[in-house]
């Protein structure tokens, strides 16, 4: 059964499409449905970006959301995916210079939604790697798990997002870049901070570098990095999928 917001949007869309074909849709009493649709979309955005909405405050977030909705109306009545591009929209606004971490916070929230709705698949585990020889390791290509999302942030957006999620009395984060890894190793989305070497290795694997190539490039770029610990972070976090050469029964 569709939720209320989905019904309102579909109904309002139908009224707009049929307004020229009959007097019923033009009746003043139906205006409430057309007017409610943007409000429903604004509510959907607030639900998808709760920390972003908390930082801005309800009234300001609604104004910004309605402006986004006018520029990016939904393509259908299914609202679960609506809101893609909201972080990029925030980044385009002049006023965001006063809140430079806000687009990053919104990006994290979007990636969490994508990870939650990603396809199910086995995650690479240590048991999958027991029989891999050093020679095979050099050539092994490891796919990302379908739920894996990662981002490098120029501001401490992840620290700020986590603080709002966990509740805080004071917040004075160190102003520095940080990485975020979002996965769904079990039923729940896991968000963890990663360093630059982990981000480099993830990026290399995404570009289809072999495990050996990604490890070597990461070590060359970050000579002090503990490559074994970096790889362990990715495996333990459920960031990697099982390649066909290592598929096992689950």
User: Could you give the CA distance from residue 106 to residue 182 in angstroms, rounded to a whole number?
Assistant: 13
Predicted confidence band of residue 1 (pLDDT cuts 50, 70, 90): very low
Provide the pLDDT for residue 24.
42
Q: Across the strands, what pairs with 185?
A: none
Is beta strand 178-183 parallel, antiparallel or unpaired with respect to 190-194? antiparallel
User: Could you give the CA distance from residue 157 to residue 105 in angstroms, rounded to a whole number?
Assistant: 5
Q: What is the average per-residue pLDDT within 20-37?
A: 47
Q: Is the pLDDT of residue 41 over 80?
A: yes
Taking only the tens place, the pLDDT of each residue in 57-113 is 999 999 999 999 999 988 876 677 789 999 999 999 999 999 999 999 999 999 999
Instruction: Calculate what percentage of the chain has a pLDDT beyond 70.
Output: 84
Taking only the tens place, the pLDDT of each residue in 213-224 is 999 999 999 999
User: Could you give the CA distance from residue 164 to residue 175 in angstroms, rounded to a whole number?
Assistant: 17
Provide the pLDDT for residue 248.
61
User: Could you give the CA distance from residue 46 to residue 100 in angstroms, rounded to a whole number?
Assistant: 19
- Residue-range domain boundaries for the chain: 1-83, 86-250
Provide the pLDDT for residue 18.
44
Provide the pLDDT for residue 209.
97
Give how far Cα 185 sits from Cα of 12, 29, 116, 188, 193, Å: 39, 49, 10, 7, 15
Q: Is 76 helix (H, G, I), strand (E, B) or coil?
A: coil
Q: Is the pLDDT of residue 15 over 60?
A: no
User: What order of strands is seen across the sheet that includes strand 178-183?
Assistant: 149-153, 178-183, 190-194
Q: Is 191 helix (H, G, I), strand (E, B) or coil?
A: strand
pTM over 0.85: no
């Amino acid at each position: 059964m569709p939720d209320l917001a989905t019904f309102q949007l579909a109904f309002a869309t139908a009224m707009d499409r049929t307004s020229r074909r009959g007097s019923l849709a033009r009746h003043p009493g139906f205006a409430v449905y057309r007017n409610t649709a943007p409000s429903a979309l604004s509510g959907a955005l607030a639900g998808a970006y709760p920390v972003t909405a908390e930082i801005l405050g309800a009234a300001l977030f609604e104004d910004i959301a309605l402006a986004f909705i006018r520029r990016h109306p939904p393509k259908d009545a299914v609202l679960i995916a609506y809101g893609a591009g909201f972080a990029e929209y925030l980044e385009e606004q002049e006023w965001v210079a006063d809140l430079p971490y806000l687009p990053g916070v919104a990006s994290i929230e979007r990636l969490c939604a994508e990870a939650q709705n990603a396809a199910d698949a086995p995650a690479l585990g240590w048991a999958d790697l027991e029989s891999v020889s050093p020679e095979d390791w050099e050539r092994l290509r490891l796919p990302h798990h379908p739920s894996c999302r990662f981002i490098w942030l120029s501001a401490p957006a992840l620290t700020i997002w986590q603080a709002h999620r966990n509740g805080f009395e004071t917040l004075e984060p160190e102003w520095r870049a940080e990485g975020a890894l979002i996965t769904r190793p079990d039923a729940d989305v896991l968000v963890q901070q990663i360093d630059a070497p982990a981000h480099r290795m993830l990026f290399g694997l995404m570009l289809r570098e072999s495990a050996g190539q990604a490890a070597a490039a990461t070590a060359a770029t970050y000579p002090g990095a503990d490559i074994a610990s970096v790889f362990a972070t990715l495996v333990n976090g459920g960031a990697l999928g099982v390649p066909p050469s290592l598929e096992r029964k689950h």
